Amino acid sequence: MTKQVKSKERVAEHGEVFTAEREVKAMCDLVSNMCEDYSKRFLEPACGDGNFLAEILSRKLANIKKNYRRSSYDFERFSVFAVSSIYGVELLMDNVIECRKRLFAIWDKEYKNVCKKDCNEQTREAVKYILSKNILCGNALTLMRVDENQQDTDKPIIFPEWSVIGGTSLKRRDFRLDVLLKVGEKPQDKKQKSIFDNEEDITKYLTLNPVTGEYIAKPIKEYPQLPYRRVQEND
């Protein structure tokens, strides 16, 4: 069993107590169908080293393996899409690095196991790249990126949305997390500011759905679609 506490100081300063595997599994069981679906997106705010994300990724990969164990072509692409659906925010950079490495190791173990001699470094680099964009060092309360002393910077947390196009390509659109959290609200709700709202007016990143009258997020940047093995070329 992995340790739930790294040090007394980290518990006192950052509330760092990791969730035990039994509880993680029990909570994932509550949404087991979603956890098996490679396309369902999950965000773990305050993800630590990724206890929930690791379990969710393992479940997604197990399901892909069940369906595509005889096809390297299908296992590879669906497993990359599964990684691209997993997001995390964490205050401490050492946890962020551990989380990315842990998710990569889970994916790579299954990749080797299923794809064997068909494994290639280009796909591994693409997966590392996606994890570097999806698991970010930031403050989940203010929704800003943080520096090495866990202090807020002036940069908001921005996540890429990866959409599968034509079965083998990924289209990336970047969104601010604070904007995404307003989606589905109506303009009058916006006036009730939360204590965690930052000062910037973010309505310029929102547009109104003419049918429902609710906010929809606008991407802050769109990239051309690329074959999934080459997603890093857009940077």
Ligand X SMILES: C[S@@+](CC[C@H](N)C(=O)[O-])C[C@H]1O[C@@H](n2cnc3c(N)ncnc32)[C@H](O)[C@@H]1O
Contact residues: ligand X, CB under 6 A? 14-19, 44, 46-48, 51-52, 89-92, 95, 139-141
Closer CB to ligand X, 101 or 218, in the complex = 101
- Minimal distance in Å, beta carbon 73 to ligand X? 34
- Minimal distance in Å, beta carbon 24 to ligand X? 7
CB atoms within 10 A of CB 85: 21
Closer CB to ligand X, 84 or 95, in the complex = 95
**For ligand X, which residue has the nearest CB?**
48
Closer CB to ligand X, 64 or 136, in the complex = 136
**Contact between 60 and 35 (Cβ < 8 Å):** yes
Residue with tokens 């916006």: 190
Angle, in degrees to the nearest 10, between helices 93-115 and 51-68: 10
Q: How far apart (Å, rounded) are the C-alpha atoms in residues 5 and 68?
A: 38
**Contact between 187 and 133 (Cβ < 8 Å):** no
* Cα atoms in the Cβ-side hemisphere of radius 13 Å centred on 200: 12
- Minimal distance in Å, beta carbon 110 to ligand X? 22
- Minimal distance in Å, beta carbon 62 to ligand X? 21
The neighbouring-strand residues paired with 172 are 162
Q: How far apart (Å, rounded) are the C-alpha atoms in residues 7 and 4?
A: 10
Q: How far apart (Å, rounded) are the C-alpha atoms in residues 217 and 219?
A: 6
Closer CB to ligand X, 47 or 231, in the complex = 47
Closer CB to ligand X, 10 or 173, in the complex = 10
- Minimal distance in Å, beta carbon 4 to ligand X? 8
